[in-house]
Amino acid sequence: MREYLLTLFVAAAVTYLLTGPVRKFAIAAGAMPPIRARDVHREPTPRLGGIAMFGGLSAGLLVAAHLSNIGDVFSVSNEPRALLSGAGLIWLLGVLDDKWGVDALIKLGVQMIAAGVMVLQGLTILWLPVPGIGPVALTPVQSTLLTVALVVITINAVNFVDGLDGLAAGMVCIASVAFFMYAYRMWYGYGVEAAAPATLFSAILIGMCLGFLPHNIHPARIFMGDSGSMLIGLVLSSCAISITGQVDPDAITSFTGSTRETVHFMVPVYMPLLLPLTMIAIPAADLVLAVVRRTWKGQSPFAADRGHLHHRLLEIGHSHSRAVLIMYFWCALFAFAAVAFSVNSSSLWIVLVIVALSAVGLVVLLLPRFKPAAPDWAESVVPPRYRRRRRRLAAGAAAAEREMRSPDHPALHGSTAIGDRPRLQDRRSDRRSERRGDRRSPVDTRN
pLDDT digits over 414-430, tens only? 544 444 444 445 545 55
**pLDDT at 181 (0 to 100):** 86
**pLDDT at 445 (0 to 100):** 41
| Helix, strand, coil percentages for the chain (3-state, nearest 5) | 70, 0, 30
**pLDDT at 60 (0 to 100):** 94
Helices marked H in 30-49: none
**pLDDT at 163 (0 to 100):** 74
Pick out the residues of the known binding site for Mg(2+). Answer: 159, 226
- H/E stretch holding 134: strand 134-137
Pick out the residues of the known binding site. Answer: 159, 226
**pLDDT at 405 (0 to 100):** 64
Backbone angles phi, psi at 159, to 5 degrees: -65, -40
The stretches in the chain having pLDDT less than 50 are 268-269, 271-276, 412, 415-424, 427, 438-447
**pLDDT at 358 (0 to 100):** 87
Query: For the whole prediction, is pTM greater than 0.75?
Result: no
Query: Strand, helix or coil at 102?
Result: coil
Half-sphere exposure of 216 (CA within 13 A, CB side): 32
| Of 378, 438, 441, the residue nearest 415 (C-alpha) | 441
C-beta of residue 228 within 8 angstroms of C-beta of residue 173: no
Q: Which residues of 136-169 are buried (b: 16+ CB within 10 A; e: fewer)?
A: eebeeeebbebbbebbbbbbbbbbbbbbbbbbbb
Q: Which residues pair with 137 in a beta bridge?
A: 127
For the chain, the structural domain boundaries read 2-269
C-beta of residue 183 within 8 angstroms of C-beta of residue 199: yes
**pLDDT at 439 (0 to 100):** 45
Question: What DSSP state is assigned to residue 309?
Answer: H
**pLDDT at 209 (0 to 100):** 95
pLDDT digits over 39-85, tens only? 555 677 888 999 999 999 999 999 999 998 888 889 888 899 999 99
**pLDDT at 373 (0 to 100):** 56
Half-sphere exposure of 135 (CA within 13 A, CB side): 20
